[in-house]
Amino acid sequence: MGLEKLRSILLIGGTDVIGTLITSIFWFFLASQISPDEFGELFYFIGIAGTASAFVVLGSQNSITVLTSKNVKIESTLYFISLLLAIVASFIIMILFYRSDIIFLLFAYVINILSIGEILGRKNFLLYSKHVLLQKVITLGLGLFFFYIFGVEGIIFALSITYVFFTIIIYKRFKNTKINFSLLRNHFKFIIDNYLIEIFNKLNVHLNKFIIVPLLGFGVLGNFSLAIQAVSLGLIFSVIVFKYIVPHDAQGEKNKKLKLITFFVAIGLACIGFFISPIIIPLFFEEYVEAVDAIRILSFSIIPMTMTRIYTSEFLGQEKSKRLLYGKIVSFITFIVAIVILGPSYGIIGISVGHLLSTIIESLLLMPKLQNIKN
């Protein structure tokens, strides 16, 4: 592994590790201060903004990263369309939920997705580090400040404000690059495939909230959200590697050894999550004992989710997104069906098993097709 490659990975890695730890401290501390019902309700409304962001960002962050790395000057065009769709979505959210904080968070998510996609595509990992760490630090400080001043109701507003400085990147791109809709024609299929992939990805992450609540209540959602937050710590390494290899795969650099190391690290992290959760959760989160079994089950999803990220990077690098879309759709359907069937009888355990199955199926669907492309 070359020195420059190692430096880039360490820069992304250090940023994501520190950033994830900072936000985890915030969310875990918040969970210790409020009830599972309040925690679940908070993530319910955050889920609305997250779901809406997938529908308004045309092409997804991955599309921007890949096309930017190939020097296709399409950023301003995608930004313009995405922000226009965000305005439309904000009216719909206001009509349905009458909550301005969700609208602010939606725009914050959109700006973040667009700007980070561009930064990674340009392989400007130092700028990525500065922006991400600043946002995480502000999240911790401003989030706690708003919580103590305004209560739980102030959290979403605080999260929205933390992304404001990302607008500088969007402004510079509009200033330096013309909007050119003709560029969409050459990459239309790739952009639309990734747009649909991101929609199903976000639905897979957030739609369960809108099903769990009427079936089992905010309390179960609160416990499950804490479990997901805990398991996300085990996904840090694969996320780091993914952000590094996407622009490299787009340029034909395979990084085989790095991908193999990532797989074995995922196995180790899954085992750690399984064995450590019964010790940590009862000690620090007495009201969230239901989350223990969920974390133990979900920990094993780290392995297939890591493999899916590796396969996804290679598909994206070749602008072959259709199989990724199939994988997301099947994974999404599997999870939702599992919640409906297993949730009422087995509660959070059934939901967690459904999530694990959905990640395994998605990974297996990508594996054979990837080999065909290579051959």
Give the range among 36-40, 165-169, 220-224 with minimum mean pLDDT.
Answer: 165-169
- Quote helix, strand, coil % in the chain, to nearest 5: 90, 0, 10
Residue 302: how many other CB atoms lie within 10 Å: 28
pLDDT grade for 89, boundaries at 50, 70 and 90: very high
Closest alpha carbon to 253 in 318, 323, 324, 320 = 318
Letter string b/e over residues 334-371, b meaning 16 or more CB atoms within 10 A of that residue's CB: bbbebbeebbeeebbbbbbbbbbbbbbbbbebbeebbe
Left if phi > 0, otherwise alpha if psi is -120 to 50, otherwise beta: which for 285? beta
Q: What is the DSSP letter of 318?
A: T
> Which 3 state secondary structure label does DSSP give 267?
helix
Rounded CA gap, 300 and 302, in Å? 5
Give the range among 1-10, 46-55, 104-113, 166-175 with minimum mean pLDDT.
Answer: 1-10
Structural contact between residues 185 and 74, judged by C-beta atoms closer than 8 angstroms: no
Residues 107-162 pLDDT 10s? 999 999 889 888 888 888 888 888 889 999 999 999 999 999 999 999 999 999 99
Please report, for the chain, the start and end positions of each structural domain, with discontinuous segments joined by +.
3-374
Give the range among 91-100, 152-161, 199-208, 289-298 with minimum mean pLDDT.
Answer: 199-208
What is the mean predicted confidence (pLDDT) over 205-215? 87
pLDDT for the residue numbered 339: 93
pLDDT for the residue numbered 72: 79
Name the residue type at position 30. L
Residue 306: how many other CB atoms lie within 10 Å: 28
pLDDT for the residue numbered 374: 45
Does 372 have pLDDT greater than 70? no
Residue 242: how many other CB atoms lie within 10 Å: 22
Give the range among 229-233, 237-241, 331-335 with minimum mean pLDDT.
Answer: 237-241
Closest alpha carbon to 85 in 59, 115, 119 = 59
Q: Name which residue leads in pLDDT, 336 or 189.
A: 336
pLDDT grade for 371, boundaries at 50, 70 and 90: very low
pLDDT for the residue numbered 3: 65
pLDDT for the residue numbered 149: 94
Provide the token pair at 181. 């809709």
pLDDT for the residue numbered 257: 82
Q: What is the mean pLDDT of the chain?
A: 86
Provide the token pair at 364. 């297996």
From start to end of 67-175, where are the E strands?
none
Give the range among 85-94, 140-149, 162-171 with minimum mean pLDDT.
Answer: 162-171
pTM of the full structure: 0.78
